[in-house]
Amino acid sequence: MTAKLSSIALLAALTTAATAQTTPKATTTTPHHTTTTAKTVTTPPNIPKVVGLPRPLYTLRYIDTKIGTGAPAEERKYYTVHYTGWLTNGTKFDSSFDHPGGEPITFPYGAHRVIMGWDTGFQGMHVGGKRRLFVPYQLAYGESGRPPVIPAKADLIFDVELVSMSDTPPQPKTPPAAPTAPESPQKTVPTTPSTPTTPTTPSTQTTPTTPTTQTTPTTQTTPTAPSTPTTPTTNPPHPETL
C-alpha cells in the first residue's frame, strides 16, 4: 500500500513538473517613460542662455553624380555652369541646353546674382563635376515663386555641371561671320550718258560784207579804125582806057 502511494505521489510530482515546463509564464511589461534631458546650447557668456535643441528650418541637400578632376570650387570666382531645373512634379522649367547654341551660363559665385541655393550649392565640387541639388523654396524663389513658371513655395531640383572657373568673366564668343555669297560676274552698268551739251547757238554769222561794187572795167578803148588810106593821087589805069 505504501509503495502504491509513493508511485502515485511520484507520478503527480512528475506531472506537475512537466506542466510547469510547458506552460508559458505570463510576462508583464512595466511601462516606463524615457525622459530626455534638455541640453543647453553653448553660447557666449554675454548672450542669454536658452534651453533646447537647435532644429533645422530648411536644408540644401545634394548628390554628387560625378566627381570632377579639375580645381576645387572657390569663392569669389566666376563659374561657368550647365544646368537643368525641374519642379518636384517632374516639370522641366529651364535648361542651359535649350538656350540658343546650348551654351552654359556664367555668374559670379556668392555675389547674389542667382538663387541662394546656387550661391552655396557648389561648395566642395571640382571643375568637371556634376551634382544634383534639392533646393527648398526658402533658398529658391520664396513664398511667392515666379508665376506662371515657378509656383508659390516651390521646391526645386537641379542637375548642375561645373564646366569651368575663372577670375574674370569669359569673353563672349565672336559669332561666326556669315558666308559671303559668291561674287557674280560684275556687269558693267552702262553709265547714263551725261546730258548732251546743248550746242551753243552759233553766234550770228557775220554777214559776209557785200563785196564792194566791182569796178566796172573801163570801156575798152575801141580800137580806132584804121584811118582810110590816103588815096593816091594817081588813079590806076582803067582797063577801058587801054
Q: Which residues are catalytic?
A: 83, 93-94, 115, 141, 158
Specify the DSSP class assigned to residue 99.
Answer: S
Alpha-carbon 233 to chain mean position: 153
Task: Name the β-bridge partners of 158.
Answer: 85, 133
In this structure, the number of other CB atoms found within 10 A of the CB of residue 50 comes to: 9
CA distance 58 to 153: 13
User: What DSSP line would sit under 22-88, residue for residue?
Assistant: HSPPPP------PPPPPPBPP--TTS---BS----S---EEEEEE---SPBP-SSSEEEEEEEEEET
- In Å, what is the CA distance from 92 to each residue of 83, 85, 97, 126, 156? 11, 6, 12, 26, 10
